[in-house]
Structure 1
C-alpha cells in the first residue's frame, strides 16, 4: 500500500486582513507545446519496416491528407524509433490521425521512451486503442525525459498492413520541468530542517550510509545490491551489521528463486514463476496494509504492495530481468520489460502477473487491498520509477504514518529522505508541504505561536511560494495578536502586530492595530454594555495614528448607529436623540459619528411614515434637524415623507387627499421638481380613474379640481385629453366609429381645438379607408362628406377625397364603366 497524500491545513485568519491576504507570485508562462517529430533535430533512427521509408515519412509530414500504409502484423507491429541529435526532449502526449474509411487503419498506438540508448532502457508511457474515425485522437501522460522515442502502431486483427495519416508527439524541447517545489536541494533541505530540533527536542540526523546512498541515486541507477541496501535503509535498518545479515538472507533467497525459475525460458515466464514462488514461500503469511518495510518481510513473511514490489524487483534484477515499478495514487506495483514489450505485475497477488489478461486476478487484488487496478491505458495516472524511486516510497509511507501520529518533524525528514532518492516524487513533495502547513496550524491553535512561526518560517525558507505556507505565516501572526487582545493585553498585541508588519509587509498588519481596541469593544457591544464598549475603544485614539486611527473613527460611527437604535427600542426616541447629541458633541468633526446621527433621524422618520404617522414623521425631522448633516438632508428626508404619504393615498384611490398632501409639500418646499413630476402623475391617474367611472364629465371635473389646487403647474389639462383620445382610439380599433365620434362629442371640452380637429379627422379618415378596403366606395364617400361638412377647409380631406375618386374610378372601369355617382359625390 502506498498511502494517501496529506492535505494542507490553511489557517483561517480571524481578521479582515488575514482573510484578504493573497500570495502574489509571478510565474513565467511556459512555452506552448509543439510536435517534437517536426523538430529539425528529429530523425528516424530505425524501424521494423525499413523498406517503407517513403511511407514512414508521410506519418510526420504535417499533412493529414497523406496516408502512410506500411507492412505490419499483430505479432510484429510497426515500430519507428526517433532520435533528436543527442538532445533531450520532454514528451507529454501523442496525437494520431487515422485515414477516413481505411480498412487497414491502426488499431492501437503505444509510445515508449529511453534515455539510455536506441535499443535498451525503454519505458512505456501509454498504450491506447484507436477509434476508427478520421479526426485527431490525443492521449496525454506525465512529462518524461527522452533521447529516443518509439512510436508503435498495431494493425487490425488479421491485417498485413497498418495505416495512419499523421502521428504527432506533443511536448517541449529540453529536460522536463521539475516537480520539485523547494528552493533547496533535498540534502540542503535536511540541513534546514535542523532548525526545528528545538521545537521538538528531537535530533534527527541522516546517517552517513544514507547520505552515501542518496549520492549514488543522484549519480545514476542503483545496482541490484545498492537497491537492496537502499530499501533496508529506508525500512529503518540503519545498523550496518544488521543490514549485512538481511543481505545474506537475501542471497539465500536469490539461490532459491533461481531454482524456482530454472525451467523457464522467456523473461515473462521467469517473472511469472518468480511471483508464484514468492507467494508460496517468502511472503506466504499474507497482505498487511501498513507493512511497508523490506526487513519485516524477512522477519514475518507479511507484506503490502510496496514491500512486495521491492522484494520482487530485488530478486528479479538479480535474476537478470528488466523490472521497474509503477507508482499510482495510493498504490505501487512492478512492471517487467522484455525489450520494448512490458507486463504489469501486481505483486500482492500470486496470480497478479500481467493482470490485464485475467479479470479474476484483478478482482482478487482489488478485494484484498481495497485499491483499484489502474491499467496501462490510464498512463496519465501512472508514474514509472526505477530502484531509487521504489525505495523512496518506503520513506514516503513512513512519513505518512508519522504525520498521522503528529510526529511532524520526523515526518518531514522522512519525506525529504524520499526526495533525496527521488527528487521528482510528487507525492513526497506534496506531503512535505502539507506537514509544514499542518504542523504550524496545530501549534497556532494550541497557542504556541512562536513555535508555529518557526515551523512556517522554515517551510518558507524551503518553499517561499507555497500558498498554504504564505497564508499561514500571516494567519499565525494574526491569531497571536488576537490572543493578546482577548487576554486584555493591548500593548502586547500592538507589539506583536509591529513585528508582524516587519515580517510580512504586505499582510495588512498596520491596519489591524485598530482591532486591538475594536475587538474588545465589539464584544461588550454584543453584550449590551455600551458605556464599557466605548471605554474600551477610546484609549485607542491616544495609542493609534494614521490608518489604524481612521479605522477606529469609522468604528465610532458604527457604535453610534447601534447604540442609538438600541436606546430607541428600549427607552424611546427622546432618550436616543439625547444620547446622540452628547455623542456628537464628544467627538466633534468625526464624519462617521455625524453620519450615524443623520441616519438615525432618517430611520426614525421613515419608520413613522411606514406606520402611517406622516405628520409625526415630518415633526420628528424638524425636531431633530440639528442632528442631520445639513439642510439638504432635512429637505430630502421631508420630501420622502410627503411623497410616501401622497402615494399611500393614491394607492388606496383617495385622490383628493393625495392632491392635498402635494399642496402641503409644495407650500413647504415651493418649486420642488419631485413634486411637480408626481403631481402630473397624480393628474394622469386620477383622470384615468374618473373617466373609467364617470366618463368625460367626471374627467373634466378632475381637471378643474387639479387646476384650482395647482394653478402654477402647466400641462395638467392634458391628462383628460389623453384619456379621451385613448378611449376614442380603442373604439376606432374595434371598428366602432360612430361610438368613437359620440365619445369625442361628449368629451370635446377636454381637448384644445387643434387636438380636437386632429382626432376627428383621424376617426373619419380611418373609417373611410376601412370602407375603401372593403370595396364599399359609396359608404367611404359618405364618410368623407360628413367630415367635409365639419371641416370644409381641411386639406387632408380634400386630398383623400381625390384619392378615393381615383381608386373608385379605377375599380369601376375594371367592371365596365364609371357610374355617374362618382362624379356627383366627387364634386
Structure 2
C-alpha cells in the first residue's frame, strides 16, 4: 500500500524544508509557566482580530518566543532608544514621504545591519544580530512609522510581505532591501493585512522551523495559532494539515499506531476531503492490523477493523480485511493443533460473513 506524504508548501519568508539553517529561539531554559504566560495574554487580546492591550512591537517580541515581561521590556527599551534618535532628525515641515524614507534609511543603516535570512523570523533576534526577513523588517518599519503617525500598512503576497505608504501617491516599500523605498511607486498585487495577521506570520514561520526539526507537536501548536490569527491564509491552513499528516506517518513508522490513527481522525474531522488523510488512514490501519496479526492478537485486529468499517465501509481494507483476519486466525489455530478453538473462530466468521466463508 502506498503511503501519501503531504507536500508542505512553505512560504518564501521561511526556509525550505530541505535546509537546516533555520534560526529558532532557544527557550529550553524557560519554565512552562514563563513560556506561556505572556503568550496566552497576547492570544486572548488578538482573538477578536485586533490588538488592544499590546503594541505591535511587544506582541511581535512575544510571538517570537520571548515570554517574560522583563525580556520584552528590554527589547522595548532598545527600540525606543532608536526611535528617539530618529526623532531628533525629524523636522515638522518635511513631507510624509520624506519622513517615511528617513526612517527606512536609518532602519537599514542601524538595525538591519546583518543579512537577509528567510528563516530569521524572531524580532528579538533581529534586534540582537541584525539579520532579518520580510516579516521582521516589515514589523520594525511598521512600528517605527506608527511612532511618527506615518500611515503605513502591510501587504501580503504568497510567500512575502512588505509595506505600503498610504496616501494620494502610495509607495510600495520592499522592507528587505536597502533600496526598497524607491523600488516602485505602483501598488503590487496582494492583500492588505492587519497587525494580527502580520503576527500570524511569526507563529507560522516558527512552526515551519520546528517542522524541519521534526518537532511535530510544537510545530502544530504554532501552525494552528498562525492559522487562527489569519484564516484567509490558505497556505497556512494547508501546512496545518500537512503537519498533522506527517506527524501521523512518523508515529506510524515508530509503531505508535493508535496515536497515528488519532491524529488522522482529528485531521479528517477538520478536513474530511483531504486526500493524504484518507490515504494514510488506510496505510496506518493496514500496518497496525498486520503488526497485531503477526503478534497473534487477532481479536484486537478485528476490533480495529470494525471501528474503521463503521466510519468507512466502502474501504476494501475495512470491508475485506475483517474476514481475512478471521481466516488468518483460524489457520493459525489449526497450525498449532488447536482445532476446537479454530472451529469456534470459523463459526464466528460464518455468522458475520456467510457468503465469504463458503470457500474456506
TM-score norm. by structure 1 comes to 0.36
* Residue equivalent to 1:494: 302
- Please give the secondary structure, in 2, of the residue aligned with 1:335: strand
Partners of 1:242 and 1:404 in 2: how far apart?
Answer: 27
Pair 1:232–1:507, CA change in 2 (3 A):
same
Q: 2:122 maps to which residue?
A: 293
Task: Give 1:3's aligned residue.
Answer: 14
2:219 to 411, 419, 432: 411
SS at match of 2:170: strand
Deviation at 1:261, TM superposition (A): 4.5
Structure 1 residue 309: Cα displacement: 1.1
Counterparts of 1:592-611 in structure 2, within 5 Å, are none
1:277 to 103, 106, 129: 106
Query: Residue 337 of structure 1 aligns with which residue?
Result: 166
- Match status 1:514 vs 2:323: yes
2:349 pairs, out of 531, 544, 547, with 544
Q: Is the 8 A contact 1:2 1:306 kept in 2?
A: yes
The answer to which of 458-467 and 436-445 deviates more is 458-467
Residue pair 1:403, 1:435 contacting (<8 A) in 2 also: yes
Give the secondary structure class of the aligned counterpart of 1:496.
Answer: helix
What's the offset of the Cα at 1:291? Answer: 1.2
Aligned equivalent of 2:339: none
Residue pair 2:226, 2:236 contacting (<8 A) in 1 also: yes
From 396, 399, 402, the counterpart of 2:207 = 399
| 1:237 equivalenced with 2:42 (yes/no) | no
Deviation string 1:615-646 (CA, Å, 9 cap, x unpaired) is: xxxxxxxxxxxxxxxxxxxxxxxxxxxxxxxx
Task: For 1:534-573, list aligned pairs within 5 A.
Answer: 541-545=346-350, 548=353, 550-551=355-356
**Separation (CA, whole Å) in 1 of partners of 2:353 and 2:157:** 52
Show the 5 A alignment for 1:209-358: 209-219=38-48, 221-222=50-51, 226-262=55-91, 265-339=94-168, 341-356=169-184
**Residue by residue, what CA displacement relative to the aligned partner does 1:757-809 show, whole Å, maximum 9, x if unpaired?**
xxxxxxxxxxxxxxxxxxxxxxxxxxxxxxxxxxxxxxxxxxxxxxxxxxxxx
Ranges in structure 2 where 5+ consecutive residues have no aligned partner: 1-11, 18-30, 336-341
> How many angstroms does 1:395 deviate by?
0.7
SS in 2 for 1:344: strand
1:420 Cα deviation from its structure 2 partner: 4.0
Counterpart-to-counterpart distance in 1, 2:68 and 2:256:
36
Q: Secondary structure at the match of 1:291?
A: coil
| SS at 1:213 equivalent | helix
Alignment of 1:353-368 (within 5 A): 353-356=181-184
Counterpart of 1:433 in structure 2 is 241
CA distance in 1, matches of 2:243, 2:93: 48
The change in CA–CA distance for 1:466 and 1:203 in structure 2 (over 3 A counts) is farther
1:253: Cα distance to partner? 1.4
Q: State the shift of 1:459 in Å.
A: 3.2
Larger Cα-atom Rg: 1
1:582-731 counterparts in 2 under 5 A? none
Structure 1's unaligned 5+ residue stretches are 7-201, 358-374, 522-531, 533-537, 557-586, 588-827
Indicate if the aligned counterparts of 1:328 and 1:383 stay in contact, CA closer than 8 A.
yes
For residues 213 and 510 of structure 1, the distance between their equivalents in structure 2, rounded to whole angstroms, comes to: 49
Higher strand share: 1
Change (3 A) 1:204 1:324: farther
Q: Using the TM superposition, give the Cα deviation of residue 282 of structure 1 relative to its aligned residue in structure 2, in angstroms.
A: 1.0
Contact 1:392 1:417 in 2 (8 A): yes
SS across alignment from 2:153: strand
| Counterpart in the other structure of 2:284 | 476
Q: Is the 8 A contact 1:257 1:315 kept in 2?
A: no
Instruction: Give distance in 2, aligned partners of 1:436 and 1:484.
Output: 24
Q: Is the 8 A contact 1:485 1:493 kept in 2?
A: yes
| C-alpha distance 519-333 of structure 1, shift in aligned 2 (>3 A) | farther
| 1:285–1:301 Cα contact (<8 Å) kept | yes
Provide the rounded CA distance (Å) in 2 between the counterparts of 1:468 and 1:204. Answer: 36
Q: Secondary structure at the match of 1:3?
A: coil
Aligned CA distance change for structure 1 residues 239 and 206 (closer, same or farther; 3 Å):
closer
Query: 2: CA distance between counterparts of 1:423 and 1:204?
Result: 28
Structure 2 CA distance for partners of 1:468 and 1:456, relative to 1, 3 Å: same
CA contact (8 A) 2:164 2:170 kept: yes
Give distance in 2, aligned partners of 1:547 and 1:430: 41
- The two structures have a TM-score, normalised by structure 2, of 0.77
| CA RMSD in angstroms, aligned pairs only | 3.6
Per-residue CA deviations over 1:230-258 (Å, capped at 9, x if unaligned) read: 10111111001111111111111111222
Q: Give the structure, 1 or 2, with the largest relative contact order (CA under 8 Å, sep 6 or more).
A: 2
SS in 1 for 2:161: strand
Question: Residue 101 of structure 2 contacts residue 181 of structure 2 at CA under 8 Å; is this kept in 1?
Answer: yes
Verify the 8 A CA contact 2:208 2:219 in the aligned structure 1.
Answer: yes
Query: What's the secondary structure of 2:88's corresponding residue?
Result: helix
Q: 1:325: how far off? A: 1.8
SS state at 2:165 partner: strand
- Aligned equivalents of 1:260 and 1:552: distance in 2? 89
For residues 328 and 166 of structure 2, what CA distance do their matches in structure 1 show? 67
